[in-house]
Amino acid sequence: MAGLASAGAGEDVKVAIVGAGWAGMAAAVAATQAGHEVTVFEAARILGGRARGLEGHLPDGRVVALDNGQHILIGAYTETLRLMRQVGVDTEAALQGLPLTLKFPDGAGLQLPRLPVPLDVLAGILGTRSWPLRERLGLLRAALGWKLRGFECEVQLSVADLCRSLGPQVMQELIEPLCVSALNTPAHQASAQVFLHVLRDALFSVPGGSQLLLPRIDLSALFPQAAARWLAQQGASVHVGTRIQSLQPVGHTCLIDGQAFDQVLLACPSTEAARLVAGAANAMPDSRALLGWAATAAALHFEAITTVYAWAGSARLKTPMLALRHDAQHPAQFVFDRGQLGGTPGLLAFVVSASQGERETIQAQVLQQARSQLGLDLQAVQTVVEKRATFACTPGLQRPPSAIAPGLLACGDYIAGPYPATLEGAVRSGVAAVQALTR
């Protein structure tokens, strides 16, 4: 397969994108903007991949809009927000902005004021009266040290190792919730280096980067569906319900289930990408590079995220989002009031990151957690377990590169890069893959 430069002057470059999640749709928009002829193939019938909308039913039979997992965006998701606006999403209406808040039902926890970076972090930490003064000062010293070192550390450090000097309340009420929400990996297993990159961008670099942006519409509508409409207006094609079976390089093109394309971007899950690349290797004279890439992608381990939707007609939280105190018997780390986010009043979403156990057990534990911590007696609506929600973001993890072979690239939140498995990581990966095609 040849690179993009092999196409003759003035020729249309046919680009196939396999997968219509956030990475695939970001790549499709970027490739269309670059003037390429774009075709997207998606195995599911709903756009969005692991961040998509679902339909649910309340106990009384009413239809409600759900998601396959409750997501938080932040102000530092600059590329995601740019592309959302590019395809016509009114981000002011679609997202509810809040200062970074990790408040618990009893009022403890951090809330940043609306001040310029990094004064908001300084004032927020010093103003968190539920933490002992020595712990607040210890956190500020640690943060200054991270900043002076350029938010870099030894690649083998875990988040728990990095934060060993911090006090127990700061660990329980800030570091552990931030770590599990951003990396979906417990602090003792999570990569300190990736965690520092998240802190750098969210708290110390981007103006407004720490602001929480909570979706007021379902995740498919938030970007993938809007992107599909925009792509159709530009003449690109999106095919749903189409699982690609084979990838076959032939000369300067690549056959996708028999259709010839000049360039191919694999924006599907890592397991699917590994399957397609390993299959393509059988037709290559020197297949070692492809087989090596497929092996690296297939070796990734995954963490689940469980979202328990529960309802009571009178249920309402103090704020649209609260942190929860979690342990083995109380597994949810956060709860969201969907009624305050433009959804059905009384509908709450409990998020269990890095979840383990059976669906029914988790659901029962979360309903008990709602009674004990929120004083709410809720009825279960639907419990969604996304078993491969993210890769396990562990220290020194080897992630596959974007480049696989000339004209064949991959994009997705699992591709090598500075970020964990987040929407911003997926979107940036998609845009970067398209940029790499032109080199």
Predicted local confidence at residue 406, as pLDDT = 87
In this structure, which CATH number among 3.90.330.10, 3.90.660.20, 3.40.30.10, 3.30.70.870 belongs to the domain 54-73+302-391? 3.90.660.20
Below-50 pLDDT ranges, the chain? 1-10
Strands ordered across the beta sheet of 263-266: 237-239, 37-41, 14-18, 263-266, 408-410, 403-405
Whole-angstrom distance, CA of residue 439 vs CA of residue 263:
13
Query: pLDDT digit string (tens) for 330-386?
Result: 999 999 999 999 999 999 999 999 999 999 999 999 999 999 999 999 999 999 999
Decide: helix, strand or coil at residue 292: helix
pLDDT score, position 251: 79
CATH of the domain spanning 4-50+220-300+395-437, picked from 3.40.190.10, 3.40.640.10, 3.40.50.300, 3.50.50.60: 3.50.50.60
Q: How far apart are CA 286 and CA 271, in angstroms?
A: 22
Q: What does the alpha-carbon distance between residue 284 and residue 282 come to, in Å, rounded to a whole number?
A: 6
Tokens of 411: 């994009």
pLDDT at 193: 97
Residues 242-267: tens digit of each pLDDT: 999 999 988 788 999 999 999 999 99
439 CB-near residues (< 8 Å, 6+ apart): 3, 4
Enter the tokens of residue 204.
């110390």
Cα separation, 275 vs 18, in Å, equals 13
pTM of the shown model: 0.94
Sorted by where each begins, the domain ranges of the chain are 4-50+220-300+395-437, 54-73+302-391, 100-210
| Closest alpha carbon to 23 in 79, 87, 85 | 79
pLDDT of res. 349: 98
Neighbours of 169 (CB within 10 A): 17
